[in-house]
Amino acid sequence: DQQVKQNSPSLSVQEGRISILNCDYTNSMFDYFLWYKKYPAEGPTFLISISSIKDKNEDGRFTVFLNKSAKHLSLHIVPSQPGDSAVYFCAAPNTGNQFYFGTGTSLTVIP
């Protein structure tokens, strides 16, 4: 039962352009969402989060948008840089202590 879904396994973007990574969820009880970035052979690192009381959160080049009615969130990276090339996971915690992770989107930023 995949409660958090990332339907695009990979994305390629030119350096300097915008990267848009998408995430859908099925559980309307989720009230907090996180994006993690993962390099090969490393653990995920926290990138940015958003509470369900907001529809946008911005941190430098990274912005997360939340559309609760569509149960959809997206991560925008602008301008994209080669160092952004990594796998990006969206995640949502349940009322317990579990994170539900999406399957990830591998972003390649082409110099």
Considering only residues 52 through 111, tell me which ones interact with other proteins, judged by CB under 8 A.
89, 91, 93, 96-104
- Binding span for other proteins by CB under 8 A among 11-19, 34-42, 55-63, 74-82: 34-42
Contact in structure between 106 and 21 (CB atoms under 8 Å): no
| Contact call for residue 44 and other proteins (CB under 8 A) | yes
Residue with Cβ nearer other proteins (15 or 101): 101
Number of residues lying near other proteins (CB under 8 A): 24
Exposure string of 78-110, with b = 16+ CB inside 10 Å and e = fewer, is: eebeeebbbbbbbbbeeeeeeebbbebbbbebe
Interatomic CA distance for residues 95 and 44, integer angstroms: 21
Choose between 15 and 52: whose C-beta lies nearer to other proteins: 52
Closer to other proteins by CB, 96 or 111: give it: 96
Nearer to other proteins, 49 or 52 (CB): 49
Give residues with Cβ within 8 angstroms of 41, minimum separation 6: none
First-last CA distance in the chain? 38
Footprint of other proteins (CB under 8 A) = 4, 6, 32, 34, 36, 41-46, 49, 89, 91, 93, 96-104
